[in-house]
Amino acid sequence: MTTGGARRVLIAGGGIGGLAAALALQRKGFDPLVFERAEELRDGGAGLHVWTNGVLALDHLGLADKVLEIAPAQQTARFSTWRGETLGNWPIGDFVQRYGRPTIAVERSVLHGVLREALEETGAEPVRTGAHVTGFEQTSRSVSIRFADGTSASGDVLVGADGIHGSVRRGLLGPAAPRYNGYVAWRGRAPIEHPEIPPGTFNAMFGPGTRFTYYDVAPGLVHWMSVANAAAGGQDEPGVRDMLLRRHEGWAGPVADILAATPEDWIIRGNVQDRKPDKRWGEGLVTLLGDAAHPITFNIGQGACQALEDALVLAEHLERDRGNPAAALRRYEAERRARTAPMQRIAYWIGRMGAVEHPLAIRAREAFMRRNWNTRAFSAAEKEQVAYGTRWTRTPQHI
Ligand SMILES: Cc1cc2nc3c(=O)[nH]c(=O)nc-3n(C[C@H](O)[C@H](O)[C@H](O)COP(=O)(O)OP(=O)(O)OC[C@H]3O[C@@H](n4cnc5c(N)ncnc54)[C@H](O)[C@@H]3O)c2cc1C
């Protein structure tokens, strides 16, 4: 618990990052208040991989067991060509022995719900919905935010956790649009049990300029994603499922069965966007967190995991230097930029590799992927990515 100094922390955005930050700050004795634009607090529509580093962060918040009750622990990540030829198997089930917790697959709504309930259990009123943040002003001692309805709120610190298009980010760094990566992701969920989808298996299949990934997020529920190169700004006509079935015609394994089992209105489309790492995330009493600070494409499945890590590190720095929150925020940003900038870059380049269409480039990709596993460089990269969260297992109790 903390006494004196900064207390009221305003958080713009009630996504996974904003809620995790509110919880972490609350556990350290701060008084966070989340402002969410949507009328209802929810996050839905698709699945997520939460790698062991993210699960360790949840563990430190006391929430991992709750999530693990619902979310299947992942055993294998399998990579193959669209014809089904294996390019590599990554036995991620071993992470439990190596790092203490599994990697899991979970519906976004489940993870978001666990965070939301944990906040609600505290009895405070930590989230205001229908609160569209449009800008902020600060002095050396306080910060205030403006809402679309003309009202405002003030506090000691402002955290912009309002996503890749966030308004706090715009106020700090200007209106630059995110970078479109040249491909679109269609995501969906299929209520299906299938002999070729053993529990706890992540599958990623690669075709020319196209990909298909799938994994179970609950018994009898499979999350999938179809990715294809496309110009920005397109829209789906009715019949998107048939379009996807045509695109993946002849693909190996359960791909056609998964698509056929998906209700059409469970399919969502999104342009894949990111940003190059920024040198600056904050100023004075204002900082950024999660996708607002460091959008990472899905290619390494780390965006939400990094938002969870941000939340814990932010709370640690603010607690350590409560009398000087601006200095605490700059230390938080430096630490987290060093962690997330390489991930933004690697995810971008893996996405480029996934998007190749020329047969020679495809052959080079496949050769690279076949060689990649079990190398020393790969083990080092795995450790770099996943072992970060073990810092919190050294702390004897949940915060
Ligand atoms: C296809 C795809 C697959 C992915 N797969 C994975 C994965 O497997 N594993 C993983 O870890 N990550 C994954 N990610 C990344 C992950 O989804 C994001 O990194 C994560 O959701 C970021 O959380 P956030 O809270 O920072 O931002 P967001 O989830 O964007 O939340 C921002 C919140 O702020 C609110 N908001 C926006 N503007 C305002 C405003 N002006 N005022 C008030 N509120 C506002 C929004 O309504 C929203 O609730 C994936 C992303 C995509 C697109």
Other Cβ atoms less than 10 A from the Cβ of 146: the count is 17
Q: Does residue 156 lie within any of the structural domains?
A: yes
pLDDT range class, residue 2, cuts 50, 70, 90: very low
Q: Does the CB atom of residue 161 touch ligand 1 within 6 A?
A: yes
pLDDT at 108 over 90: yes
Cα–Cα distance list, 340 to 227, 289, 291, 356 (Å): 24, 11, 11, 25
pLDDT digits over 121-131, tens only? 887 678 999 99
- Mean pLDDT within 343-348: 97
User: Which atom of ligand 1 lies closest to the CA of 49?
Assistant: 8
Exposure letters 246-278 (e unless 16+ CB within 10 A, then b): ebbeebbbbbeebbebbeeeebeeebbbbbebb
Q: What is the 3-state secondary structure (H, E, C) of 7-53?
A: CEEEEECCCHHHHHHHHHHHHCCCEEEEECCCCCCCCCCCEEEECHH
DSSP class per residue in 61-86: TT-HHHHHHHSPBP-EEEEEETT--E
Q: Does residue 258 lie within any of the structural domains?
A: no
Q: Tell me, in angstroms, the distance from the centre of ligand 1 to residue 296's CA.
A: 10
pLDDT at 6 over 80: no
Cα–Cα distance list, 341 to 93, 163, 250, 333, 334 (Å): 27, 16, 38, 11, 11
Q: Which pTM was predicted?
A: 0.96
pLDDT at 173 over 70: yes
User: Which atom of ligand 1 lies closest to the CA of 131?
Assistant: 43
- Mean pLDDT within 36-50: 86
- Mean pLDDT within 69-88: 95
Q: Does residue 170 lie within any of the structural domains?
A: yes
Amino acid in position 243: M
Considering all CA atoms of the chain, what is the largest pairwise distance in Å, rounded to the nearest integer? 65
Q: Does the CB atom of residue 173 touch ligand 1 within 6 A?
A: no
Q: Tell me, in angstroms, the distance from the centre of ligand 1 to residue 108's CA.
A: 10
pLDDT at 1 over 60: no
Say if residues 11 and 104 touch (Cβ distance below 8 Å). no
- As a whole number of angstroms, the distance between CA 156 and CA 9 comes to 6
Q: Does the CB atom of residue 52 touch ligand 1 within 6 A?
A: no
Mutate to test the pocket of ligand 1, among 211, 288, 298, 386 (most ligand atoms within 8 A of CB): 298
Q: Which residue has the tokens 């308004």?
A: 167
Query: Could you list the residue range(s) of the whole structural domain that residue 302 is in?
Result: 8-178+274-393
- Mean pLDDT within 112-122: 92
Per-range mean pLDDT, top range of 225-239, 342-356, 378-392: 342-356
Q: Tell me, in angstroms, the distance from the centre of ligand 1 to residue 167's CA.
A: 14
pLDDT at 175 over 50: yes
Name the domain count of the chain. Answer: 1
Cα–Cα distance list, 167 to 51, 63, 123, 381 (Å): 29, 29, 29, 34
Q: Give CA angle at 112 (228, 109), nearest 5°.
A: 55
How far is C-alpha 363 from the chain's CA centre?
A: 30
The pLDDT value recorded for residue 235 is 86
Residue of the CA atom closest to atom 38 of ligand 1: 162
Amino acid in position 74: Q
Residue 231, C-beta contacts closer than 8 angstroms, at least 6 positions apart: none
Q: Does the CB atom of residue 351 touch ligand 1 within 6 A?
A: no
DSSP character at residue 323: T
SS3 318: helix
pLDDT digits over 141-168, tens only? 999 999 999 999 999 999 999 999 999 9
pLDDT at 394 over 70: no
Q: Does residue 16 lie within any of the structural domains?
A: yes
Residue 284, C-beta contacts closer than 8 angstroms, at least 6 positions apart: 138, 140, 143, 326
- The alpha helices in the chain, defined as continuous H runs, are 16-27, 52-60, 64-70, 95-99, 108-121, 167-173, 240-247, 255-260, 303-320, 325-354, 359-372, 376-386, 390-393
Q: Does residue 376 lie within any of the structural domains?
A: yes
CATH number of the domain where residue 56 is located? 3.50.50.60
Say if residues 35 and 10 touch (Cβ distance below 8 Å). yes
Q: Does residue 289 lie within any of the structural domains?
A: yes
Q: Does residue 24 lie within any of the structural domains?
A: yes
SS3 177: coil
Positive or negative torsion for Cα 254, 260, 262, 266? positive
